[in-house]
Structures are given as structure tokens and as C-alpha cells.
Amino acid sequence: MPKVLVFGTGSLGTCYAWALSKAVGQDNVTAICRSNYEAASRNGFTVHSTLWGDNLTFQPRIARSVAEAVRQLSLDTQQFFDFVVVAAKAVPTDPSIAEIIGPAIVKGKTAIVLLQNGIGIEDEYARLYPESPLLSTVAYFPATQVSPGVVHHKEVELLHVGTYPADAPQAHKNIAREFVELLGKGGATAKLHDDIQRKRWAKLLVNSSWNPICALTRLRDREFIEVSLDLGLGAGNDKWGDGARFIKDVMMEIASVAQAYGYSDVNEETVDFQIGRAVVRDLPGVQPSMLGDAFEKRSMEVDAIVGNVVRLARKKGVNVPMLRTIYLLANGLSESFSRKKLQG
Amino acid sequence: MPKVLVFGTGSLGTCYAWALSKAVGQDNVTAICRSNYEAASRNGFTVHSTLWGDNLTFQPRIARSVAEAVRQLSLDTQQFFDFVVVAAKAVPTDPSIAEIIGPAIVKGKTAIVLLQNGIGIEDEYARLYPESPLLSTVAYFPATQVSPGVVHHKEVELLHVGTYPADAPQAHKNIAREFVELLGKGGATAKLHDDIQRKRWAKLLVNSSWNPICALTRLRDREFIEVSLDLGLGAGNDKWGDGARFIKDVMMEIASVAQAYGYSDVNEETVDFQIGRAVVRDLPGVQPSMLGDAFEKRSMEVDAIVGNVVRLARKKGVNVPMLRTIYLLANGLSESFSRKKLQG
């Protein structure tokens, strides 16, 4: 059976650790825990899912660090991980996550799976581990860790999977297929894609706009639309008002970057579809993860989700003044949280 | 002696009430108080100023409402106000401040003085009281109300004064001069301008940019520069980095609106001068009033300071994508505070 290391057991990491435990057996899964280490060591994990079932408990191996996870393999027949799944939040750390997982990566044997939001997040892994198969994923998976080791999940579960880069060797493509099949065996829905970046851009349309906008305004998506209906900016008589027009213009900037990179199916049609989803929600609407981070004064995935889009735009000479503004502001807000901690 | 009503006794209103009390006698000044009514009734006001002197106490008439202020005149020889000075924060209320002061405005006798930030804030007063002289002012006056009725002031004190509109009748111009002379008599520095809007635009350059940017990021000006030094946006090797470049671009949008309205002296040179002031400050830098409002979850002067600039830009077909973004975000943040209050 393949062995799996899951780095980061927030809501997403925990749920996919459950599916992988079902597929390969929980003894072949090691979860790296930080704040939920005590709880997970004592009680394992519990997932309550409207799709997978209620009260799903499992007890994988638990480690505090990658070194500890590797040590735990020393008496096993197979002393390396086949998959290292990175499910931690994509925020800059020192050392970086890519560096931290180093001890668990065995050249030619270990594949790395990135279960993270954003764009351009694969670069550092590809640079540090050029020979390791690198899988990039896009998750549609609304879940919340309600207490240490206990996760609620609802509505949808879908993981898009593909190699990085899209033109990786066939051997890597095969490993992507293997990973998708493992998840299927574990009861999760995963789809294999030849070019996963297309899916990343499609998700960014929503993520790079709503996430920072909600975090900066401290409003949920539908609330933002509501308080911005008529600001005298010309769309007050439109069906959805000045706020929705603003969101559309921001999304169109993101789409223009996607198009500059060849993803022409991220366009006005998909933008309108995404706006349409938000405006018909009941008040107060959805709370994007970054808004939750802002309320808790946790650092936010600003670079992965917004900054990289602005930098990619710059490389292609695409003008994104609104997104650049949002980036500088969201970066400042996120930095204010760490400054508070430093000062306090 | 002229009679003066001061509507709004925050830090600025209190300090100019002191100067006017010195000029016309405190019995000829009525201050409308809300949260500091009890304190001001009991102890009057106290100003501690590095320029005017320490421990300056005065006891004008105090009223809770405009109606009460007018009633208090009923036994006086002169039963109307010569000047109604509006020093309340320029945030939308219902009824509006312009409507609220109505009972104190005697046609042909009472002049209205707006001691408020922003642009385009005179319109409603001009519409409601077309025959009343309307004075518009721009204050450089760093002051803080440290406890109810007690204000600290430091460094500079300067009030620019002019009629609204700039081409008001000579009679109104004379009243502007009279008001400037009153302030001078009271120990304050006031300057008369033929076109006060020029001064408004010059101040907006700083206000419309730093105020909302600091409020949204929860950082002081110099801190914002500091956390945005190198974001990979091309100005990382400049002397002041990506954050200062961003601020400059926002200010240039404001300048382009000012220029569209004929104020060509609000330009790159003045922008560079203002950036230069911020970047050389010691950390953490200055806390703009809107950042204080954000920390206290008070509604912010978003429309007066940012929204009106965006709407004026729109009227002239000037493109201000960054400022529009800042406006929508700051408006949302300010609305989130009132929603919290409604819900809580």
C-alpha cells in the first residue's frame, strides 16, 4: 500500500486524510499536526460530512514535525512516503513549507501533492525537487474545523488534479492518475486534468476578488453587494448595482490575466456566471476563508491568491489597477496582524 | 457682537469655539454637544495647545439641539445667530446636518461656515439655503479630544476660508473676510481665499489616499510604506518601494480629477512633495482620523473624502480605477460598522 504524509490538518487536510486513510489504511497515513496535535493524538480525527457521512472517525499516525514523521517509518518495511500532501495554508513562512517537507522527499520515489489555493504556488517545489512528480490540485470543498481534530463539511466535494507543469513526463502523469484513483477508492471525487492551471484560473476569478474584498470590508459577499447598490457610479439602476459592477470589473481584470496565459475560457461569460451566483444568495451570504482569517487576525493567503496574479499580469504587461490596489491593501491588512502580534 | 452657533464639538469644533469665544465673548457662543454634553455643561471646555497655550478653559452656552440653542436666544437682544459653524464629521445622517441646522438659519442674517473635510460637501447647504452666505474652510489642525470636553492640539493651526461658490456676491465675500478677522481676533490663524476649492483639492491629495488606505489596512502611513517595500511590482529597487509607488499612483488619480476641474497646481510636483513627507517620518508614522474611526468601529467620512472625488471624476470622464476600488472598499468597511451595531 502507498504511504502518505499529510502536511497540515486544517479542515481540508483532515478530510482528504480521511479519504486517503480509507484508501490505503490509516496506518499508512501520517498527519503532521500543530495546534490540534494533542486532540488528534488522543482522539484521532472526526469528520461530519453531509456527503460522506456523519461521525467518521479515524486515527492515522500523528507527528509534530516532518523529521518525526520520517522517524516513525524506521521500523516499517517501506521507509519512505509515496505521497506528501501539502494542505497547509499558502502563507509565507521561514523556512518555507517547500523547505520544511524536505526530509520526507525521497528522490525518484516521493510525489508531492499541493492541496492549496492560489496561482504560481508550485514554482518553489519544482525548483527544490526538480525530479519529484509534482501534483497540483484545485479543491471545491467547503469545510470548517469546528474544534481541534473535528471537521464539518457540506454541499460539494470535488478535487481537480493534474501535474505541474502540464507537460510533465508520462511517468508523472501516471502518478497523478494513481492519486486520483486512490481518492476515488477512499470515497472522494477527484478528476484528472491534463492542464490543471485552467482550473486554478477559474477558481481564482472568485478567490482573488471575493476573498480580499470581503476581508478588507469585513462583509460577506452578499452584504457587500447590498451596501454598494447605489453609490452614484452609474450602475445604481442596473439590476445589481454599483457593487456588483465593481466586482465584475475586478473579475474581468483577473480574466484578462488568465487570457494572457492562454486560458481563454476564463472570460466575461464565466465572470457573469460567478457574479450571478453571489447576487442571488440570501443575505448575509458566504464568508470566504480570508474574511474568517481577518476576523481572527490570522495572516491571509494574499500572495498566493492575489499577489501572484498581479505579478503574472505585470510579466505579460496586462494592466490590473484594481487588483493591484486590492493586493496592496490586503497585504497591508495581513501584515498588520503580524505587526500587532510582534508589538503585543 | 456677532453670535455664533458651533454645531459639533469634537476636537476641531471645540478649538475654534475657543477662538471665537475669545473674539466675541463666550456668552455669544453656543455649542451643540452630544456625547460631551454633561461634561461641557458642568466644566465647560478645556484646550491644551502647544501653540495657543495650556489649560485654556471656557464656558460657552451649551445646548443639546439646534431648537434648544435657538430657544436660549429668546431673552437676548439679538435673537439670531450671525454664524452657524458646522464642525461635525461629514457622514451621512437622516435627517442630514444641513437639514438639522435649519431652525438656526435666519434668511439674510445667518452665514453658514463648514468646518469639514472632503469635497463637494457644500452642495446640499447651497441648495437648502440659497440666500445664506456659505463659507467653506480647510483646516490644518491636528487635535484630539482626550476626554469629554478636553482637547489636545499641537504643531500647526491654520484655517483656509473662502465663499462657496468662489464667485459668490461681494456681500458674502465680505462676510468671509469678517469671519477671518474674528478668528484672528480670537488668536487663530485664518487665511482668506478667493477660491477655497483649490485648498480643498490640495488637502484631498493626502486625505483621499492615506485616510482610507490606512483605515483599510489598519496601518499608519509609514508602516504601510514599510510592509510594502518590495512586492515584486517593479518599484522594489526604488528608494521608497512598491508601497510608495502605489500611493503616488493613487494621488496622481486624485490630481487628475483636480486638474479636470481646473486646479492645475495639484500635480505631480505636489504629489511628490506629499509622498516625501510620509516616507521620511519615523515609524510607525501618522494615524489619520479614518484609521482611528476604523479602530473604534465608527462610521467614516468616506463619501465626503473619497466617494465625491470618484463621482466628480465620473462627471468629467476621468478614469480613476484605483480610487474607485478604494472607495468601494472603504464604503463597505464603514457600512460594516453600522451593520454590526444593527445586528449587535
Q: Is A243 on the interface with B (CB under 8 A)?
A: yes
Which of A249, A314, A339 minimises the CB distance to B233? Answer: A314
pLDDT band at B340 (very low <50, low <70, confident <90, very high): low
Chain A residue numbers with beta carbons less than 8 Å from the beta carbon of B336 are 217-219, 223, 227
Alpha-carbon distance of B181 to B2, in angstroms, equals: 12
DSSP SS3 for A219: coil
**Per-residue model confidence (pLDDT) at position A344:** 35
Instruction: Dig out the grid coordinates for B197 from the structure.
Output: 476649492
Which amino acid belongs to residue A219?
L
Instruction: Dig out the grid coordinates for A253 from the structure.
Output: 481584470
Total beta-carbon pairs less than 8 A apart between chain A and chain B? 113
Stronger pLDDT, A340 or A263, i.e. the higher one = A263
DSSP SS3 for A53: strand
**Per-residue model confidence (pLDDT) at position B342:** 44
Q: How far off is chain A from B181, nearest CA to CA, in Å?
A: 39
Which of B209, B217, B250 has the most A C-beta neighbours within 10 Å, making it the best mutation to test the interface with A? B217
> Residue A9: is its pLDDT beyond 70?
yes
Alpha-carbon distance of B266 to B258, in angstroms, equals: 6
Instruction: Dig out the grid coordinates for B66 from the structure.
Output: 439646534
Whether the upstream peptide bond of residue A284 has omega within 30° of 0, thus cis, is yes
> Residue A262: is its pLDDT beyond 70?
yes
**A4-194 belongs to which CATH class?**
alpha beta
Give the DSSP letter of residue A27.
Answer: G
Q: CB–CB of A223 and B336 under 8 A?
A: yes
DSSP SS3 for B293: helix
Give B131-155 as a DSSP string.
TS-EEEEEEE--EEEEETTEEEE-S
Choose the most confident range, by mean pLDDT, from A276-285, B45-54, B231-240: B45-54
Chain B residue numbers with beta carbons less than 8 Å from the beta carbon of A225 are none
B219-254 pLDDT per residue, tens: 999 999 999 999 999 998 887 899 999 999 999 999
Instruction: Give, in order, the Cα–Cα distances in Å from B337 to each of A244, A325, A326, B326.
Output: 21, 22, 20, 17
What's the whole-number mean pLDDT along residues A249-264? 98
What's the whole-number mean pLDDT along residues A95-105? 97
Chain B residue numbers with beta carbons less than 8 Å from the beta carbon of A218 are 332-333, 336
**Per-residue model confidence (pLDDT) at position B309:** 98
Q: β-pairing, B4-7 with B53-58?
A: unpaired
Q: CB–CB of B335 and A234 under 8 A?
A: no
Chain A residue numbers with beta carbons less than 8 Å from the beta carbon of B310 are 233
> Residue A343: is its pLDDT beyond 70?
no
Whether the upstream peptide bond of residue A95 has omega within 30° of 0, thus cis, is yes
What is the rounded radius of gyration, in angstroms, for the C-alpha atoms of chain A? 20
User: What's domain A198-343's architecture?
Assistant: Orthogonal Bundle (1.10)
Q: CB–CB of B328 and A243 under 8 A?
A: yes
Q: CB–CB of A336 and B223 under 8 A?
A: yes
B23-39 pLDDT per residue, tens: 999 999 999 999 999 99
Listed in sequence order, the residues at least 6 apart from B169 whose beta carbon sits closer than 8 Å to its beta carbon are none
B171-220 pLDDT per residue, tens: 999 999 999 999 999 999 999 999 999 999 999 999 999 999 999 999 99
Q: CB–CB of A310 and B233 under 8 A?
A: yes
> Residue B339: is its pLDDT beyond 90?
no
What's the whole-number mean pLDDT along residues B68-90? 96
A117-142 pLDDT per residue, tens: 999 999 999 999 999 999 999 999 99
Whether the upstream peptide bond of residue B95 has omega within 30° of 0, thus cis, is yes
Which of A216, A249, A336 minimises the CB distance to B219? Answer: A336
Region at A165 (left for phi over 0; alpha for psi -120 to 50; beta for the rest):
beta
Alpha-carbon distance of B76 to B262, in angstroms, equals: 46
Nearest chain A alpha carbon to B250: A325
Instruction: Dig out the grid coordinates for B196 from the structure.
Output: 477655497
Q: CB–CB of B325 and A328 under 8 A?
A: no
CA torsion sign for A5, A8, A14, A16 is negative
Q: Is A228 on the interface with B (CB under 8 A)?
A: yes
**Per-residue model confidence (pLDDT) at position B236:** 83
Stronger pLDDT, A341 or B144, i.e. the higher one = B144
Q: pLDDT above 90 covers what percent of chain B? A: 93
Q: β-pairing, A150-153 with A143-147?
A: antiparallel
Chain B residue numbers with beta carbons less than 8 Å from the beta carbon of A328 are 228, 231, 242-243, 246
Which of A246, A310, A328 minimises the CB distance to B243? Answer: A328
What's the whole-number mean pLDDT along residues B270-297? 92
Which amino acid belongs to residue A290?
M
A11-63 pLDDT per residue, tens: 999 999 999 999 999 999 999 999 999 999 999 999 999 999 999 999 999 99
**Per-residue model confidence (pLDDT) at position A340:** 59
What's the whole-number mean pLDDT along residues B81-105? 96
> Residue B341: is its pLDDT beyond 60?
no
Chain B residue numbers with beta carbons less than 8 Å from the beta carbon of A333 are 216-218
Which amino acid belongs to residue B271?
V
Nearest chain A alpha carbon to B253: A321
Domain ranges in chain B are: 4-195, 198-343
Across the strands, what pairs with A187?
none
Chain A residue numbers with beta carbons less than 8 Å from the beta carbon of B227 are 331-332, 335-336, 339
> Residue B277: is its pLDDT beyond 90?
no
Chain A residue numbers with beta carbons less than 8 Å from the beta carbon of B249 are 321
> Residue A226: is its pLDDT beyond 80?
yes
User: What's domain B4-195's architecture?
Assistant: 3-Layer(aba) Sandwich (3.40)
Common-topology check for domains B4-195 and B198-343: no
